[in-house]
Amino acid sequence: MDAILGQVHEVVAWAFALANEYDVSSLIEAGVFFLFAGLALLFACGVIFLRNVVHSALSLTATFICVACLYLSIGADFMGAVQILVYGGAVAVLIVMAIMLTRRDDMAHSNPSRGLLQHVAAAVVAGLFLLGMAAVAVLSPFQSAPLPLGDAAPGLADLMLTHYVLPFEVAAVLLLIAMIGAIVLAKGADER
Give residue 75's pLDDT: 83
Helix (H, G, I), strand (E, B) or coil at 9: helix
1-11: pLDDT as tens digits: 778 888 888 88
115-156: pLDDT as tens digits: 677 778 888 888 888 888 777 767 766 555 565 555 667 777
User: Could you tell me what percent of the chain has a pLDDT over 70?
Assistant: 83
Give residue 42's pLDDT: 93
Q: In whole angstroms, what is the distance from residue 169 CA to residue 160 CA? A: 9
Angle (CA) 178-40-52 rounded to 5° is 60
| 113 Cβ contact list (under 8 Å, min separation 6) | 51
What confidence tier does 192 reach under pLDDT thresholds 50, 70, 90? low
What confidence tier does 54 reach under pLDDT thresholds 50, 70, 90? confident
28-47: pLDDT as tens digits: 888 888 899 999 999 998 88
Q: In whole angstroms, what is the distance from residue 45 CA to residue 126 CA? A: 13
CB neighbourhood size of 85 (10 A): 12
The CA dihedral of 175, 181, 185, 186, to the nearest 10 degrees, is 50
Q: Name the fold adopted by 2-111+142-187.
A: Four Helix Bundle (Hemerythrin (Met), subunit A) (1.20.120)
Give residue 63's pLDDT: 93
